[in-house]
Amino acid sequence: MNISEIGKFALLDRLNTGFEARQQSTVKAFDDAAVIATSDKQKQICSVILLEGIHFNLVYTPVKHLGYKAVAHAVSKIVAMNALPQQILVAVGVSMRFDVLDVEALYEGIRAACSEYGIDLVENNLTASLTGMTISVTAVGEASADSLCYKSGAKVNDLVCISGSLGAAYMGLQVLERERRIFESNHTQPKLEGYDYILQKQLRPQARLDMLKTFEDNGIKPSSMTNIVDGLASDILHICKQSETGVRLYIEKIPIASETFEVCEEMNFDAVTAALNGGDDFELLFTLPVTEYEAIKSLSGFEIIGYITDASQGAYLITPEGNELKIKAQGWTSVTE
């Protein structure tokens, strides 16, 4: 069915169905503007926008996964503030090449993410686009002022930690791009068996909402925190810049999954480079006061990979041999660059 057959507003009515209010602060949804009750806590608001051909390729990205990933991306930014996500606002642009089923599939992914993260869709907009698909997600979160974490809070001697493994999302993208090129050249069916882990990390990544419970249950408050979107190198330098510090990261401590190592070896790609510059991991990068070491050393779910130094000492990687390599922010390269 073409979208023009039922019209924008009838389609929006269909898409809005099934989004239940899970937050007490959600007063009114799907009006001219959403109404969210305020409290003595502080609200956090952030937006992400994903553009076809820049941030995703629909040749190998299921539209349902795209909807989920867009929400996870926005939610991850709220979580990186040590705040609980509560509501999202969505705006989607679609061209004539998409039909009703395509858009409904996108919203199946959005709906699944809302259910998994316990958040509410409170505003929804759909518009025509001359080319491709665009999806924008604005997330709203809440936290008390004394629990919020900023990139600017790192202190000298703080421990640098990561919530999970790195590089898998980037290598998942490399596999998908390789198979796309092979298919376009000789129409050979893609061979994706055995790549489940890295493909899931690329196509359906998880926002680390679970880490907030780990922090709360163990009385931990990071001194600084961000989410890894552009790669470890870029994101640790963001913390150093805003905190006016330096850093030392140990290469052998950077968590890289065995599945990622295997694909890197297969594709003749350096796994550490993928971890440092790949991006799209959505893991949390955070610092903790060194006084917390005894309390956290037995905890699972994150790894200590280095420590914060004085700004005058710069930002460096330490090799297993003890050599220092200056950290350079190359960042994530999109599929079209």
Q: What are phi and psi of 191, to 5 degrees?
A: -105, 100
Q: Residue 12: which pLDDT band, with cuts at 50, 70 and 90?
A: confident
Name, in order, each residue with C-beta under 8 angstroms of 98's C-beta and a sequence gap of 6 or more: 3, 133
Q: What are phi and psi of 263, to 5 degrees?
A: -70, -35
- DSSP characters for 189-223? PP--TT-HHHHHHHHS----THHHHHHHHTT---S
Strand-pairing partners, residue 136, are 49, 91
Asked whether the predicted pLDDT for residue 332 surpasses 50, the reply is no
Q: Which residue has the higher pLDDT, 68 or 43?
A: 68
Question: Do residues 292 and 220 touch, judged by C-beta distance below 8 A?
Answer: yes
pLDDT in tens, 287-303: 999 999 988 888 888 99
Share of the chain above pLDDT 90, in %: 74
Q: Residue 236: which pLDDT band, with cuts at 50, 70 and 90?
A: very high
3-state secondary structure of 315: strand
pLDDT in tens, 147-206: 999 999 999 999 999 999 999 999 999 999 999 999 888 888 888 999 999 999 999 999
Q: Residue 333: which pLDDT band, with cuts at 50, 70 and 90?
A: very low
How far apart CA 312 and CA 112 sit, in angstroms, is: 47
Q: Residue 93: which pLDDT band, with cuts at 50, 70 and 90?
A: very high
Average pLDDT over residues 49-65: 95
Asked whether the predicted pLDDT for residue 8 surpasses 90, the reply is no
How far apart CA 232 and CA 277 sit, in angstroms, is: 6
Q: Which residue has the higher pLDDT, 330 or 110?
A: 110
Name, in order, each residue with C-beta under 8 angstroms of 118's C-beta and a sequence gap of 6 or more: 22, 23
pLDDT in tens, 237-280: 999 999 999 999 999 999 999 999 999 999 999 999 999 999 89
How far apart CA 22 and CA 119 sit, in angstroms, is: 6
Q: Which residue has the higher pLDDT, 295 or 224?
A: 224
Range in 19-23, 56-60, 228-232 with the lowest mean pLDDT: 19-23
How far apart CA 308 and CA 158 sit, in angstroms, is: 5
How far apart CA 243 and CA 224 sit, in angstroms, is: 8
Range in 38-47, 166-175, 228-237 with the lowest mean pLDDT: 38-47
How far apart CA 196 and CA 193 sit, in angstroms, is: 7
3-state secondary structure of 252: helix
Structure tokens at 9: 């507003």
pTM exceeds 0.95 for this model: no
Nearest C-alpha neighbor of 149 from the set 217, 220, 88: 220
Q: What is the pLDDT of residue 125?
A: 94
Q: What is the pLDDT of residue 203?
A: 96
Name, in order, each residue with C-beta under 8 angstroms of 20's C-beta and a sequence gap of 6 or more: 120
Range in 5-19, 66-80, 124-138 with the lowest mean pLDDT: 5-19
The architecture (CATH level 2) of 151-326 comes to Alpha-Beta Complex (3.90)
How far apart CA 109 and CA 315 sit, in angstroms, is: 39
Strand-pairing partners, residue 324, are 318
Q: What is the pLDDT of residue 132?
A: 93
Q: What are phi and psi of 325, to 5 degrees?
A: -120, 125
Pick 3-147's CATH classification: 3.30.450.40, 3.30.70.100, 3.90.1820.10, 3.30.1330.10. Answer: 3.30.1330.10
Q: Mean pLDDT for the chain?
A: 92
Within the chain, which residue ranges are assigned CATH 3.90.650.10? 151-326
Alpha helices (H) in 118-167, listed in sequence order: none
Q: What is the pLDDT of residue 334?
A: 42
Within the chain, which residue ranges are assigned CATH 3.30.1330.10? 3-147
Q: Which residue has the higher pLDDT, 208 or 333?
A: 208
